Structure 1
Amino acid sequence: MSTGITVVGLGSGDPDQLTLGIWKILQGASRIYVRTQEHPVMKRIAEEGISFESFDSVYEDNGSFGDVYESIARRLIELAAGSELIYALPGHPMVAEKTVLLLREYAAEAGVPLKVLGGESFLDQAFVRLGFDPIEGFQLLDSSDVNAESLRPSLHTLIGQVYDSLTASEVKLGLMEVYPDDHPVIVGHALGVEGEEQIVKVPLYEIDRLEGYGNLSLVYIPRSEEDSLRAGSFARLHEIVGILRSPGGCPWDMEQTHASIRKNLIEETYEVLETIDEDDPDHMREELGDLLLQIMLHSRMEEEVGTFNVYDVIRGLNEKLIFRHPHVFGDKSADNAEEALKSWDAMKSEEKKLKGESKSEASLLDGVPKDLPALMKAYKLQKKAAKAGFDWDKIEDVLAKIEEELEEIRAGLAEGDDSEALKLELGDLLFSAVNAARFLNADPEEALSLVNDKFRRRFRYIEDRLREKGSSPQTSTLAEMDALWNEAKAAE
Structure 2
Amino acid sequence: MRGSITIAGLGSGDETQLTIGVWRQLEQADLIMLRTMHHPVTEFLRSKGMPIRSFDHLYEAHDQFPDVYQAIVDELVRLALEEPGRKIVYAVPGHPQVAEATVQLLRERAPEAGIELKIIGGESFLDQAFLRLGFDPLDGFQLIDATNLERVQFNPLQHTIFAQVYDRIIASEVKLTLMEWLPDDYPVVAAHALGVEEQEKIQKVPLYELDRIDGYGNLSLVWVPRDDDEELLSRSFQRLHEIVEILRSPEGCPWDREQTHQSIRKNLIEETYEVLETIDEDDPEHMCEELGDLLLQIMLHAQMEQEAGTFNIYDVIEGLNRKLIRRHPHVFGDLSAADPEAALRNWESMKQEEKRQTGRDPQQLSVLSGIPKDLPELLKALKLQKKAAKVGFDWDHIQGVFEKLSEELQELREVIDAPGKEEQRMEELGDLLFVVVVLARFLNVDPEEAIARANRKFVQRFTYIEEQLRLRGKTFEQTDLTEMEALWQEAKYRVNRD
Alpha-carbon distance change, 152 to 171 in structure 1, aligned in 2, over 3 angstroms: same
Aligned-residue offset at 1:390 = 1.1
Whole-angstrom CA distance in 1 between matches of 2:470 and 2:392:
55
Amino acid of the structure 1 residue aligned with 2:253: C
Whole-angstrom CA distance in 2 between matches of 1:400 and 1:476:
41
**Pair 1:445 & 2:445 matched:** no
Q: Which residue of 1 aligns with 2:400?
A: 397
Counterpart contact for 2:33–2:53, Cα < 8 Å: yes
Q: Which residue of 2 aligns with 1:205?
A: 208
Q: In the TM superposition, what whole-angstrom CA distance separates every residue of 1:188-210 from its partner, at most 9, and x where no partner exists?
A: 11111111111121111122122
Aligned-residue offset at 1:463 = 1.4
Counterpart contact for 1:405–1:428, Cα < 8 Å: yes
SS of the equivalent of 2:251 reads coil
Amino acid of the structure 1 residue aligned with 2:28: G
In structure 2, which of residues 432, 449, 454 is the aligned counterpart of residue 429 of structure 1?
432
Counterpart contact for 1:35–1:87, Cα < 8 Å: yes
Alpha-carbon distance change, 391 to 417 in structure 1, aligned in 2, over 3 angstroms: farther
Alpha-carbon distance change, 147 to 233 in structure 1, aligned in 2, over 3 angstroms: farther
Whole-angstrom CA distance in 1 between matches of 2:354 and 2:328:
12
Whole-angstrom CA distance in 2 between matches of 1:96 and 1:46:
25
In structure 2, which of residues 101, 105, 109 is the aligned counterpart of residue 102 of structure 1?
105
In structure 1, which of residues 237, 244, 250 is the aligned counterpart of residue 253 of structure 2?
250
Counterpart contact for 2:192–2:202, Cα < 8 Å: yes
SS of the equivalent of 2:338 reads coil
Counterpart contact for 2:3–2:114, Cα < 8 Å: no
Whole-angstrom CA distance in 2 between matches of 1:395 and 1:417:
35
Amino acid of the structure 1 residue aligned with 2:19: T
Whole-angstrom CA distance in 1 between matches of 2:363 and 2:33:
68
Q: In the TM superposition, what whole-angstrom CA distance separates every residue of 1:168-202 from its partner, at most 9, and x where no partner exists?
A: 11111111111111111111111111111111211
**Pair 1:17 & 2:17 matched:** yes
Amino acid of the structure 1 residue aligned with 2:70: E
Amino acid of the structure 2 residue aligned with 1:423: M
Aligned-residue offset at 1:417 = 4.8
Q: In the TM superposition, what whole-angstrom CA distance separates every residue of 1:103-123 from its partner, at most 9, and x where no partner exists?
A: 122222222221111111101
Q: In the TM superposition, what whole-angstrom CA distance separates every residue of 1:130-161 from its partner, at most 9, and x where no partner exists?
A: 11111221100011344784211111101110
**Pair 1:354 & 2:357 matched:** yes
**Pair 1:377 & 2:395 matched:** no
Q: Which residue of 1 aligns with 2:414?
A: 411
In structure 1, which of residues 121, 128, 137 is the aligned counterpart of residue 131 of structure 2?
128
Counterpart contact for 1:73–1:103, Cα < 8 Å: yes
SS of the equivalent of 1:40 reads coil
SS of the equivalent of 2:414 reads helix
Please say which of residues 465-474 and 51-60 is displaced more in the overlay. Answer: 465-474
Q: Tell me, which stretches of 5 or more residues in structure 2 are unaligned?
A: none
Whole-angstrom CA distance in 1 between matches of 2:420 and 2:30:
106
Whole-angstrom CA distance in 1 between matches of 2:105 and 2:150:
25
Q: Which residue of 2 aligns with 1:291?
A: 294
Q: Which residue of 1 aligns with 2:34?
A: 34
Aligned-residue offset at 1:416 = 3.4
Give 1:180-191 correspondences, 5 Å limit. 180-191=183-194
Q: In the TM superposition, what whole-angstrom CA distance separates every residue of 1:365-412 from its partner, at most 9, and x where no partner exists?
A: 111111111111111111111112111111111111111000001111
Amino acid of the structure 2 residue aligned with 1:33: M
Counterpart contact for 2:412–2:425, Cα < 8 Å: yes
Q: Which residue of 2 aligns with 1:330?
A: 333
Give 1:3-152 correspondences, 5 Å limit. 3-81=3-81, 82-83=83-84, 84=86, 85-146=88-149, 149-152=152-155
Counterpart contact for 1:32–1:52, Cα < 8 Å: yes
Q: In the TM superposition, what whole-angstrom CA distance separates every residue of 1:285-327 from its partner, at most 9, and x where no partner exists?
A: 0000000000000110110010111111111111111111111
SS of the equivalent of 1:201 reads strand
Aligned-residue offset at 1:474 = 3.5
Q: In the TM superposition, what whole-angstrom CA distance separates every residue of 1:254-297 from its partner, at most 9, and x where no partner exists?
A: 11111111111111011111100000000000000000000000
Report the TM-score, using the length of structure 2 for normalisation: 0.96
In structure 1, which of residues 162, 165, 173 is the aligned counterpart of residue 165 of structure 2?
162
Whole-angstrom CA distance in 2 between matches of 1:303 and 1:127:
39
Whole-angstrom CA distance in 1 between matches of 2:340 and 2:3:
56
SS of the equivalent of 1:312 reads helix
Counterpart contact for 1:148–1:177, Cα < 8 Å: no
Counterpart contact for 1:147–1:175, Cα < 8 Å: no
Aligned-residue offset at 1:359 = 3.5
Alpha-carbon distance change, 320 to 249 in structure 1, aligned in 2, over 3 angstroms: same
Please say which of residues 288-297 and 9-18 is displaced more in the overlay. Answer: 9-18
Whole-angstrom CA distance in 1 between matches of 2:347 and 2:361:
20
Counterpart contact for 1:148–1:174, Cα < 8 Å: no
Counterpart contact for 2:404–2:435, Cα < 8 Å: yes
Counterpart contact for 1:37–1:56, Cα < 8 Å: yes
Amino acid of the structure 1 residue aligned with 2:249: S
| Identical positions, percent | 60
Counterpart contact for 1:146–1:175, Cα < 8 Å: no
Amino acid of the structure 2 residue aligned with 1:253: D
Aligned residues: 492
Whole-angstrom CA distance in 1 between matches of 2:436 and 2:418:
24
Q: Which residue of 2 aligns with 1:301?
A: 304
SS of the equivalent of 1:116 reads strand
Alpha-carbon distance change, 301 to 80 in structure 1, aligned in 2, over 3 angstroms: same
Whole-angstrom CA distance in 2 between matches of 1:405 and 1:380:
21
Aligned-residue offset at 1:440 = 0.6
Counterpart contact for 2:21–2:120, Cα < 8 Å: no
Whole-angstrom CA distance in 2 between matches of 1:389 and 1:291:
38
SS of the equivalent of 1:53 reads strand
In structure 1, which of residues 474, 484, 487 is the aligned counterpart of residue 487 of structure 2?
484
Q: Tell me, which stretches of 5 or more residues in structure 1 are unaligned?
A: none
Q: Which residue of 1 aligns with 2:346?
A: 343
